[in-house]
Amino acid sequence: MLLMRTMASEQPITLPPDDVERRRRVRRTTLIVTAVVLFFYFGFIALMLVRAHK
């Protein structure tokens, strides 16, 4: 409930500790997965560039 209200209104609310922890985990997982995506994307093009220069 608290989570949804914060999402909808953007008003600063003091979150209970478990919600703070959950948000931290959401942020961490998002960053890790995004890093994997970017690694695949740029890694792949870099790999091809290396191959193209052989």
Rounded to whole angstroms, how far apart are CA atoms 8 and 42? 35
Q: How far is the CB of 11 from another protein (least distance, A)?
A: 13
Contacts to another protein by CB under 8 A: 1, 3-4, 7-8, 22, 25-26, 29-30, 33-34, 36-38, 40-41, 44-45, 48, 51-52
E-assigned strand segments in 8-52 = none
Cα–Cα distance for residue pair 37/10, rounded to 1 Å: 29
| Contact yes or no for 19/2 (Cβ under 8 A) | yes
Q: Smallest distance, Å, CB 14 to another protein?
A: 18
| Minimum distance, C-beta of residue 36 to another protein, in the bound complex (Å) | 6
